[in-house]
Structure 1
């Protein structure tokens, strides 16, 4: 149930469709999640890239939703993003349970990256990679070039793994703008990447996609869960088995809390607290 657990190539009923589904934003534990499919998400990103206009997208699974449910300030930032895609079966189930959205599949962050980059390569729109480590970025760039020979990578910049100093975001934005990139992929991990995307959106005229562990997946550092586990909503268990000491709290605590809150919202035992405008951040991760 984690934010970056899925790495699925969908070829069934919920895969690529001729008619994109976009039922708008729906309240899931106070976080406004877009009830949309791959084609609708891809269309929003590609339109912003072509038109050189800002857009901030993330794909949230249970861990990402809970970061907003438990933190009103971060919930404000998430709800200010243009697109919050449902990443993972449990989030899809939650939207269908609460709002009858009829979603047939979730929008996996790593898979969304591949589908977007395929279209970016077709249209010769360059991409900027931001986040992770220099070694991972090198492996990622090499992997993407093999998969998409015509893809133009305009630049790559590793995370500093610290808080931005005054004026640093403007410097990063200037480097991205100078590269002529038409899309920025952000791989800082949840919730750092969503905070970064929220802060960077006003500084750029291109879309940002916060893509979780997609960098690690496509660089070959992480193995995706078997398809049957993803379909069963058990991709989180796969990640827990791979990294139990690091991820036990994320999954065992947050998953239980998610189910309790979801049941309470469905039965109207509680209502998510309204969230005001997102506050300006004083500590922005880079």
Structure 2
């Protein structure tokens, strides 16, 4: 299969793929027996990467990197290469589970409290009766217990693993346990399990397209999110503005850090 074209935005390279194209590539990747992980990067994670060398390295080493944020799609043309669409983690879980059921591939779920991850498994089983859910486990375990969890995932024969532990813990788990996990693809899906379990309402599609989903989430969890969004959004706007000035002035190529 052809090499995936990527768009450089600040400190990350994003796959220039739609949701459907991403799923096609991932399924082909799994069938060919290749191994790797997929990162869903939004503005907050992009900024976190600049402060966390491990997270930056993890994303740099990913087999797939998708833009999970409409603002990233908007600014991509300013950096020399357009992104066709946002690819959200929640949508990936649904789309990959649907294809996995059809292609007779198995999925695993790890993260969140047990009642939540069980609810996600029940929801996926209801939507896709042919889906084989090989492993279901909560995210409450110590670093010392992580190898045993990874071995359970391997023993279950998991092809695609969804990890919902939040950033950067989910990335640390995938990276440290990669040789043991055995899955063909691992995806950190952050708080998507809450949405999939019906515990958190997702923003209406019109708000998602407007790029204001962050404001919708902020209204749901103001105490937890206000500081993060204030800092990351402000820093992102500053970096984008600074880079545009440099590019237009001829000082740097598009996409540099």
Q: Does residue 70 of structure 2 align to residue 89 of structure 1? A: yes
Pick from 105, 123, 137: which aligns with 1:125? 105
2: CA distance, partners of 1:273 / 1:99? 11
**Mapping of residues 151-230 of structure 1, within 5 Å:** 151-160=131-140, 162=142, 164-165=143-144, 168-203=145-180, 204-230=182-208
Q: Does residue 55 in structure 1 map to residue 36 in structure 2? A: yes
The residue matched to 1:268 in structure 2 has which SS?
Answer: helix
1:89: Cα distance to partner? 0.5
Q: Is the 8 A contact 1:90 1:233 kept in 2?
A: yes
| Aligned Cα root-mean-square deviation (Å) | 2.3
Task: Tell me: CA distance 1:222–1:161, structure 2 relative to 1, closer, same or farther (3 Å).
Answer: farther
- The correspondence of residues 3-14 of structure 1 with structure 2, limited to 5 A, is none
**Structure 1's 182 and 205: CA in aligned 2 closer, same or farther, altered over 3 A?**
closer
| Aligned residue-pair number | 251
Give the drift of 1:186: 0.6
Q: Find the aligned partners of 1:200 and 1:257 in 2 and give their Cα distance.
A: 33
| Alignment-derived partner of residue 130 in structure 2 | 150
- Alpha-carbon spacing, 1:273–1:75, altered in 2? closer, same or farther (3 Å): farther
Higher relative contact order (CA 8 A, sep 6+): 1
Alignment gaps of 5+ in structure 2: none
Give yes or no for contact 1:25–1:32 (8 Å, CA) kept in 2.
yes
Where structure 1 has 5 or more consecutive residues not aligned to the other structure, the ranges are 1-20, 275-286
Could you say which structure has the higher helix fraction? 2
SS of the residue 2:121 aligns to: helix
Whole-angstrom distance in 1 between the partners of 2:174 and 2:63 = 10
Shift of the 73–137 alpha-carbon distance from structure 1 to 2, 3 Å rule, reads closer
